[in-house]
Amino acid sequence: MPADCGPGHGETGMVVRLGRRGFLRGALLAASGAGAGVFGTTVLPHWCGWDQPPLGGGYASAADTPAAVQHAAVSVRYYVQTTEPVVALTFDDGPAPQWTPMVLDTLDAAGVPATFFMVGSSLAANADVVRGRLARHEVGNHTWAHEDLATMDLGQVRASLSRTHDVIGEVTGRAPTLLRPPFGHLGGSTMLAANAMGYDVVLWSYQMRERIYRDDPDGQVRDIVGTLRPGAIVLAHDVGDERRLVALRRLGDMIAGLKARGFRFATVSQLVAGAAGPYPSGHAGAGVPPPA
């Protein structure tokens, strides 16, 4: 092994050889401030020239870009741990004139809120589809063009998120506070950008399974109504190919079935906040009615 491929002076000498997935996880932990004090050990990715990471876009640590770090940590959330029968419906990739109005009509008829993770370019092109219809709902950032943020450097991520952030503010009158990375892919640059912009990252604990229930829409309803647990964050899409309609056309039945089980509905921020109490002034959820 070349001399410059070992641990640096003063390191423990422990080297863990990581694949791409393992390295991205290590970069994520580094960017989110996790260290030996939290996890009990220090993992050093291995490369020749130990201070030169082998990946381009997704790598970024707080030590490399201290000016980007505005907060001590960034929340990455899959669900909320609660015994309260509350769930959050989320819809990705819109808006678009084909299906977004259908989703909004169904939510309005049921009187329930949801969270829409919108693509900036789609919102800019289809602002009239949602303008004036989002009062009870929350809107989060889903990048400008549905890019895989884990392949992009910090500047590229910030540019995509900032452009979308501005459009959401212009259309809704509220600044977003949540980010959902496309495909659920995370890299260190994503975490640093979220930190600098004051975002929390939202993934999901359950999703519509349109491929499985393509020819069984009743099965999709039974799956959601019978499987969801308190605190779930559910992934759906209001843009995409025809299979999405298996879930969207039966969304009202899912909501009715969950209500029959005693469930209420909240935006993601309401769910995180315990679904109770007002938001602070200026928060994206301020003025949004309580969970239905």
- Residue tagged active-site, from 46, 237, 238, 253: 237
Looking at residue 41, the DSSP 8-state letter turns out to be S
**Count of residues in the chain:** 292
* CB atoms closer than 10 angstroms to residue 50: 16
Rounded-to-integer distance, Cα 32 and Cα 30, Å: 6
For residue 153, give every residue at least 6 positions away whose Cβ sits within 8 Å of its Cβ, in sequence order, or none.
Answer: 56, 57, 60, 189
Residue 283 among the catalytic residues: no
CB 27 within 8 A of CB 187: yes
Q: Are 292 and 111 in contact (CB under 8 A)?
A: yes
Tell me whether residue 237 is one of the annotated catalytic residues.
yes
Hey, how many other C-beta atoms are within 10 angstroms of the C-beta on 2? Answer: 7
Radius of gyration of the chain from its Cα atoms, rounded to whole angstroms: 21
78 CB neighbour count, 10 Å cutoff: 14
Query: Annotated catalytic residue: which of 4, 92, 137, 165?
Result: 92
Which residue(s) pair with 117 in the sheet?
Answer: 92, 140
- Catalytic residue IDs: 92, 237
